[in-house]
Amino acid sequence: MSKPVVITVDGKEITVPEGEILLWAALDQGIYIPHLCGIREAERPAASCRLCFVEIEGIPNPVTACTQPVQEGMVVRTRTPRVDRLVRTAFELLLSNHCLGCAKCPKNRNCELQKIAKERGLKLKLTRLRPLLKEVPRDESPDAFIYDPNRCVLCGRCVWVDHHQVKVGAIGFIRRGMERKVATFGDLKFAESRCTQCGECVKVCPVGALSFKKKEQEYASK
């Protein structure tokens, strides 16, 4: 539909459709930019995880790739000292509020936090920041899956799928600030809510917050 344009990412010229969002354009070309909250089909990016920072020539400060439509001649750098520092801090902040202990997590080896750590050479433990996690109970009420808020990074992918793909509207974000979390309407247990337990939200969870029971049991026994 739209004509292709040439942009430069990390010195490499790539051809992408004009107006495409930079994050997806780069990922399609095999250039990895850390991201958690991005949803390709979403009308408007949430831009909430603050991980996909890049520097673009002509823009003074780093910007998020998920909010940036590509333009002809755009020169992008995904790795600069400023970008690396922002990504590192954002990543560490997420870890400070995330239940660590990958060995016991059903998402081990398949977790996007692990992927970011690997790609960017970041540690999967807290070094300079203080742990902020207050352990809260998991919701094991559904037949097929478990919701563990202690592992949730608030990317919102589950909420988006629930609202826009399966169109049930069982879950959403509630409360503000540190209290913000994904919950069912009225903060009921999943089994008591209008959730149909279709499992689509579990499939898109990038970390171990929503996981199928079968998988969970495998790991819990380890």
Residues within the interface to another protein (CB under 8 A): 44-51, 53, 61-62, 64, 67, 82, 85-86, 89-90, 93-94, 96-97, 128-130, 132, 154, 173, 175-180
In the complex with another protein, which residue's Cβ is closer, 96 or 197?
Answer: 96
- Measured from the CB of residue 68, what is the shortest distance to another protein in angstroms? 10
- What 3-state DSSP class applies to 6? strand
- Measured from the CB of residue 33, what is the shortest distance to another protein in angstroms? 15
- Measured from the CB of residue 45, what is the shortest distance to another protein in angstroms? 7
- Which 3-state string (H, E, C) describes 165-195? HCCCCCEEEECCHHHCEEEEHHHCCHHHCCC
- Measured from the CB of residue 64, what is the shortest distance to another protein in angstroms? 7
Tokens 């520092």 correspond to 85
In the complex with another protein, which residue's Cβ is closer, 4 or 69?
Answer: 69
- What 3-state DSSP class applies to 138? coil
In the complex with another protein, which residue's Cβ is closer, 123 or 175?
Answer: 175
- Distances, alpha carbon 156 to alpha carbons 63, 68, 83, in Å: 20, 20, 23
How does DSSP assign 4-39, residue by residue? EEEEEETTEEEEEETT-BHHHHHHHTT-----SS--
In the complex with another protein, which residue's Cβ is closer, 16 or 65?
Answer: 65
- Measured from the CB of residue 142, what is the shortest distance to another protein in angstroms? 25
- List the beta bridge partners of residue 171: 184
In the complex with another protein, which residue's Cβ is closer, 66 or 146?
Answer: 66
In the complex with another protein, which residue's Cβ is closer, 176 or 222?
Answer: 176
- Measured from the CB of residue 218, what is the shortest distance to another protein in angstroms? 30
Burial tier of 43 (Cβ tally within 10 Å: 0-12, 13-18, 19+):
exposed
Tokens 């910007």 correspond to 63
- What 3-state DSSP class applies to 4? strand
